[in-house]
């Protein structure tokens, strides 16, 4: 379980890093939205695994 959460955290960090490096504001917003969605899925998955 912890390995899955670590992988999700890495994906979120990678997406945020991509957003930070994006040159256009639209690209930054889009990638940040994807990162937020991944983070939301990670939270839901962690909650469902915990129960």
- pLDDT, average across residues 14-35: 72
The domain segmentation of the chain, as residue ranges, is 2-50
CA–CA distance, 15 with 26 (Å, rounded to integer)? 14
Determine contact, residues 28/19, Cβ cutoff 8 Å: yes
CA nearest neighbour of 30 among 39, 41, 18: 18
Determine contact, residues 31/22, Cβ cutoff 8 Å: yes
45: Cα within 13 Å, side-chain hemisphere: 15
CA–CA distance, 49 with 27 (Å, rounded to integer)? 33
pLDDT at residue 11, as a whole number: 79
pLDDT at residue 22, as a whole number: 59
pLDDT grade for 1, boundaries at 50, 70 and 90: low
């Amino acid at each position: 379980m912890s390995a899955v959460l670590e992988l999700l955290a890495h994906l979120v960090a990678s997406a945020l890093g991509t957003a930070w490096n994006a040159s256009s504001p639209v690209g930054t917003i889009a990638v940040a939205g994807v990162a937020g969605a991944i983070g939301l899925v990670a939270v839901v998955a962690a909650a469902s695994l915990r129960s």
